[in-house]
Amino acid sequence: MIELVHPWIITGLLCIPVIIWWHKYKGKSLEGSMRISSSKLFSNHFRKRGNKRSKTVFVLKIITISLIIVGIARPRRIDKLQMTTVDVVDIIMVLDISSSMLAEDFQPNRLEAVKTAAQQFIENRAGDRIGLLVFAGETFIQCPLTTDKDVLVSLLNDVRVAEKEYDGTAIGMAIANATNRLRSSEAKSKVMILLSDGSNNAGELDPTTAADLASQFDIKVYTIGAATNQSLTYIPGVGRMVNEIDEETLKAIAQTTGGRYFRARDKDMLTEIYQQINDMERTEIEVKSYTRYEELFGWLLIPALMLGMGTETLTRSIFRQQT
């Protein structure tokens, strides 16, 4: 884009038509005259050549004046540059896949409700790296940190409840495994979202100890307890089971790491909780704008100077000698 630093000066170009009009209609009255006995002394060729020279000089002077006016207005080219800095968030979603996640107090069941809410969360995170870790009696990394949402969602949809031999709830080991995945991350913010519907009953590591470990690596843990307020919940193929969310432990984990504990009592609350976490852990985007100016008046004033000097040289030398 080109702009004029002193745009009002460009109005000087309006004088050009006035100068042309004055030269054409009024300039002749200012010229001197000489009486001679006969015009035959001057040939038509002589007169035409003189008029042609006069017009040439006048046109060159008009061009020179126009270049000077535009040059003084200081045209310059503007280039606007932007530098964008994105501070991404590395997130590990830690999902309980013990047999109790088949409970039907969430429709169609807890696991499917969590997968739906988690998928919406993933789709709302632009530019962040997200991984998925599942746990029951043992922990499994379902998907390492990635920016490929399609792959992550596909692997999330493949999650199933753990086999009977791996059943249990190893919350401490799940936090430790996720911490191991996040500890070497160079992201400005490292986040773990842990969802469980039970209490720690498996694994070799206590959840509070694992939370202390995560805190040492500046990993923030958001914990979600997923279950209704009913004392008993029906699980297909198992029967009715007691709801035993260890809320105190989940709260302690969140408090130790600077996170927050949420309780989801139905599918809608679960979706809302993931949205709250999404709002709290926003990706920071810093945009710096730079403007570069390139002065162009030299491209006008230098030719104007050369043209003016050339016109004056022609007037005083070549045209005079040929007159």
Indicate whether 273 pLDDT > 70. yes
User: CB 120: neighbour CB atoms within 10 A?
Assistant: 12
Average pLDDT over residues 63-75: 89
CA distance 178 to 92: 7
What CATH fold (topology level) applies to the domain 89-282? Rossmann fold (3.40.50)
Kindly report the average pLDDT of the chain as a whole number.
Answer: 85
Residue 184 to residue 194: CA distance in whole angstroms: 19
Judge contact between 167 and 137, C-beta under 8 A. Answer: yes
Please state whether beta strands 139-146 and 189-196 pair in parallel, antiparallel, or not at all (unpaired).
unpaired
Among 2-16, 35-49, 106-120, the minimum mean pLDDT is found in 35-49
In which residue ranges of the chain is CATH 3.40.50.410 found?
A: 89-282
Q: Which has more pLDDT, 316 or 42?
A: 316
Contacts of 64 (CB under 8 A, 6+ apart): 304, 307, 308, 311
Q: What is the pLDDT of residue 310?
A: 82
175-202 pLDDT, tens digit each: 999 999 999 888 889 999 999 998 898 8
* Per-residue pLDDT at 84 exceeds 70: no
Which residue did the predictor score with more confidence, 241 or 142? 142
The pLDDT value recorded for residue 227 is 87
pLDDT of 222: 97
In angstroms, the CA 319 to CA 323 distance is: 6
pLDDT by residue (tens digit) across 200-234?
988 889 999 999 999 999 999 999 999 887 766 77
pLDDT at 42: 47
User: How many CB atoms are located within 10 Å of the residue 213 CB?
Assistant: 19
Q: Is residue 257 scored above 60 in pLDDT?
A: yes
**pLDDT for the residue numbered 135:** 96
Is residue 104 predicted with pLDDT exceeding 60? yes
Instruction: Tell which wins on pLDDT, 31 or 54.
Output: 54
Q: Which of 10-24, 32-46, 173-187, 297-311 has the highest mean pLDDT?
A: 173-187
- Quick one: pLDDT at residue 164? 87
pLDDT band at 287 (very low <50, low <70, confident <90, very high): low
